[in-house]
Amino acid sequence: MLLEIYLCFTELQMDRINIKKLAEELNLSKSTVSRAFRDNDDIKADTKARILAKAKELNYQPNHYASNLREQKSRTIAIIVPELANNYFSQAIHGIERIAREHNYHILIYVTDDDYQKEVDFIRHLHNGRADGIIMSASGEANNHSYLNKLGGKRLPLVFFDRVYEDIDVPRVVTNDYDSSFKATEHLILQGCEKIAYLVVNKSLSIGKTRMQGYIDALEKYRIKFDDRYIVDCSNSYEENDVIVKEVLKDLKPDGIFASVERLAFATYYACYDLKLEIPKDLKVISFSSLEIAPLLNPSLTTITQPATDIGGQAAQLLFNLLEGEQVVSTIQEVVLKSKLFIRNSTNK
């Protein structure tokens, strides 16, 4: 009976070990115990060791919410992305995660499903102190995002990567999209393409626009008449894209496809299989992509490969500059990373 009570008691104790109980166990005050977990405080090495040992024994961890309420910072960054089950974004998050871990920060993940309202809600919500900063690839280019100017300022540092809002002045990491798509288009032209379709998911997104401009300018350089029917607005749904791409292939009979995201290159491949079109004979395909197995596709896919992991890492670095930097830098910081063209069989003559 006594044993039972004892067990019950210790279980309860186990259930919630806190600084007070730990202090009692050690016959010390809470403040002394607290000091043991901070680096720069005055505490006898001996005492500190005793405390840490006991803490480990009892599995004590300073309560995160109490600490952060006190210190007004969370050592947490939030990542907001349009989608998760996506090569590019998972690599970028991987890059962020690595840097965050080095800095002993934790990461929260938020997925907007390309829904601008969710993005707004997430950001608004995050102003409750849950995160010290945000790294985001934007979802709602077409919308009014002035709310970010109010919120996004010094209160909660924000860094963009890849998909940015041009009108919001925050640090950002992008790739040299204009050059890359110019070169991509040029490559198709030099391989003999004359009717090049540009597939894009959301052409109002700045990233879509930049890439499109490279395409347009390359056409111009080679005196190929621009025809806006060849700018094809696609969606995020496999089924819809299948219909859209097949229509384009049948109606416009392009001899080159420039896909602004890898998903659209896949849609093109599937469509060609179904329509018995042969890549690269009937149609050459090039795509922005960070797919590591592009060489294994049938045919191997010519890609403009973005350094996705690096992009994430740099974005994290920019955020930590804001969070931990001594001096406030007032100019916009923009990091431009280079994509690289890998020529493979999908664009071979």
Partner DNA sequence: TTGTATGCGTTATCAA
Partner DNA sequence: TTGATAACGCATACAA
Strand partners, 285: 257
Query: What binding mask, one character per residue, do residues 152-171 give for its own copies by CB under 8 A, x or -?
Result: --xx----------------
User: Which range touches DNA (CB under 7 A), out of 30-38, 194-202, 270-278, 288-296?
Assistant: 30-38
According to the binding rule CB under 8 A, does residue 127 interact with its own copies? yes
According to the binding rule CB under 8 A, does residue 84 interact with its own copies? yes
* Contacting residue, 266, 283, 306, 307, with its own copies by CB under 8 A: 266
Query: What binding mask, one character per residue, do residues 71-110 give for DNA by CB under 7 A, x or -?
Result: xx--------------------------------------
Which pair of tokens denotes residue 294?
Answer: 């592009």
CB of 60 to DNA, least distance (A): 7
According to the binding rule CB under 7 A, does residue 42 interact with DNA? yes
**Following CA atoms 39, 45, 49, 51 in sequence, which dihedral angle do they give, to the nearest 10 degrees?**
-70
CB of 146 to DNA, least distance (A): 25
CB contact at 8 A, 196 and 188: yes
User: Which range touches its own copies (CB under 8 A), out of 102-110, 157-165, 215-223, 316-324?
Assistant: 102-110
Longest Cα–Cα distance in the chain: 94
CB of 55 to DNA, least distance (A): 10
The span from the CA of 259 to the CA of 289, in Å, is: 9
Which pair of tokens denotes residue 323?
Answer: 């969070």
- Residue closer to DNA by CB (options 37, 342) is 37
Binding partner of 221, given DNA, its own copies, none, CB within 5-8 angstroms per partner class: none
- Residue closer to its own copies by CB (options 131, 218) is 131
According to the binding rule CB under 8 A, does residue 229 interact with its own copies? no
DSSP three-state, residue 256: strand
* Contacting residue, 13, 31, 117, 146, with DNA by CB under 7 A: 31
**∠ CA 127-128-134 to the nearest 5 degrees?**
40
Report in angstroms the alpha-carbon separations of 221 from 184, 212, 328.
Answer: 13, 14, 43
Report in angstroms the alpha-carbon separations of 51 from 54, 62, 67.
Answer: 5, 12, 18
Report in angstroms the alpha-carbon separations of 271 from 194, 240, 257, 277.
Answer: 20, 12, 12, 8
Binding partner of 14, given DNA, its own copies, none, CB within 5-8 angstroms per partner class: its own copies
- Sign of the four-CA dihedral 202, 203, 204, 207: positive
Tokens 């894009």 identify what position?
Answer: 200
Binding stretches for DNA (CB under 7 A): 16, 18-20, 27-32, 34-35, 37-38, 41-48, 60-63, 66-67, 69-72
